[in-house]
Amino acid sequence: MLCTVYNYAHLDLSSLSAGSLGLVVWGICGGIIAGIFLSLIYKNITSSFIKTLVKKGISDEEKAVTLSEAEAKGKWYLRSALKSPYKPIRRYVICANEKDLLGFDPKEQDNIGKKADLPMDKAKFYLPEENRTKAEIRFSEAKRPAASFIFTAVLLIAAAYFSLYAAPELLQMLDNFIGTLKN
- Give the whole-angstrom CA distance, residue 127 versus residue 123: 14
In whole angstroms, give the CA distance from residue 109 to residue 149: 42
SS3 content of the chain, % helix, strand, coil (to 5): 60, 5, 35
- At position 112, the amino acid (one-letter code) is I
Distance CA(168)–CA(177), nearest Å, equals 14
Say what the pLDDT of residue 86 is. 80
Condensed to tens digits (0 to 9), the pLDDT of residues 98-121 reads 777 676 666 664 555 556 677 777
Greatest Cα pair distance, the chain, in angstroms, is: 79
Tell me which H or E stretch contains 43: helix 20-55
Mean pLDDT by 10 residues, the chain (183 residues): 64 66 89 94 89 88 85 84 83 82 61 63 86 87 88 95 84 84 80
Contact 176, 7 (CB under 8 A): no
Rounded to 5 degrees, φ, ψ at 80 are -75, -40
116/4 Cα distance (integer angstroms): 58
Tell me the residue type at 88. Answer: P
